[in-house]
Amino acid sequence: MSLSEQDRFNRAWFGHPWAIDGLARQQGFTDEGERAAYWRLADEMRGRSILDVGVGPGRTVTLLRSLSDDYVGIDYLQEMVQAARERHPFADLRLGDARDLQDFPEGRFDLVVFSYSGIDLVGREDRTRVLSEAWRVLEPGGTFWFSTLNLEGPAYRYRPWRPFAPRRPSRALGWLRYGVQRAQSFAPVPRRWRDYRRVVPLAQQGDGWALAPFFGGEWRVLTHYVTLPRQLADLEEAGFAHGPEVFEDARGRRVTPGEDLHEVLAFNILARKPG
C-alpha cells in the first residue's frame, strides 16, 4: 500500500522512540468512555475471538487477553509491534494494517477493537476501507469497538497559539506557582506553531468530518474528526446495524446524536454486524 502524506507525517511521529515510550507508559483505560465500553462487552466476549487493531506498544493486550486467549494484535508500525512483543512475549502480535486485513478470512472474529482514536490516523477514503475490512472479518452478530475524535468537541477547537492554562489555585499561596506554570505554558508555543504550519496544508473539511492537526501529537499528527451523526451514517453505509451504542469520554455515559456534544472530546462506539 502506497503511503499518503498523512501516513508519512503520522508514521514519523509514532515511530519515534519517545512517542513509543510515552504510549508504553500508559496503563489501563484511557478514559471513562473506554472503561464503559469494555465492561459493556466483557461478559459477552469472554472466550470469543478478538482482533486488536493498532495495538501500539501493548496497552490493550492485557485488557483484551483477560477476556480471551483467542487474541491477535496488529499494528502498522514494526517499531510498535516490537515494543508490544517485548512487553507481551506470549501474545500473538503481528505487523498489519487496518485498511487491508487480507491475512484474516471473512467472519474470523467476534470482536474487532481499534482503540485510542487509532482509526483517526488515516484519511477519509482509507477510513471507509477500515470500516469495510472490520465488517468483513467479523462474524455475523460481531462487534466493532472503536474510538474517534468528535468534530464538535474541544480537540478540534484547540490551536497551538492557545497554550493550556493551569488550573487556578484555590489558595493565595498557590498564585505564585500558578504564575510560573502560566508563563511556562507559553514556552513551547513557537515550536508548536512551526509544526502546525507544516501539517495544516494537508487539512481538509467535508460534510460532518475534517482532517486537521492534532494537539495530542504536538501538532505533528494529522487526524480525522467526525460528528456523531456523520459517523453513524458511515457505519450504516458500511453495513453495520442501525443504532450502535456510543459512550462519551469524560464520564462514560451513553450519548445520542440529538444531544449537545460540544464538550465531548471523543466517542467509544460499539457497532454491530447484523446477524
Q: How much is the average pLDDT of 101-120?
A: 97
- Its pTM stands at 0.91
Question: Is 44 within a domain?
Answer: yes
Q: Confidence class of residue 166 from pLDDT cuts 50, 70 and 90?
A: very low
| Per-residue model confidence as pLDDT tens digits over 68-107 | 999 999 999 999 999 999 999 999 999 999 999 999 999 9
CATH code: domain of residue 100: 3.40.50.150
Pick from 105-109, 152-156, 164-168, 247-251: least confident: 164-168
Question: Is 208 within a domain?
Answer: no
- List, in order, residues 6 or more apart from 155 with CB less than 8 Å away: 149, 214, 215, 216, 225, 265, 266
Question: Is 159 within a domain?
Answer: no
Supply 129's cell numbers.
476501507
Which residue's entry shows cell 505533528?
220
| Per-residue model confidence as pLDDT tens digits over 38-64 | 999 999 999 999 999 999 999 999 999
Q: Distance between CA atoms of 97 and 52, rounded to whole angstroms?
A: 11
| Helix 78-87 with 17-24: angle, nearest 10 deg | 40
Q: Distance between CA atoms of 104 and 133, rounded to whole angstroms?
A: 10
Question: Is 161 within a domain?
Answer: no
C-alpha distance from residue 193 to each of 19, 181, 189, 242 (Å): 19, 20, 6, 41
Given a contact cutoff of 8 angstroms between Cβ atoms, the answer to whether 125 and 8 are in contact is no
Task: Kindly tell me if the per-residue pLDDT of 30 is higher than 80.
Answer: yes
98: three-class secondary structure by DSSP: coil
| Number of structural domains found in the chain | 1
Instruction: Specify the pLDDT at position 115.
Output: 97
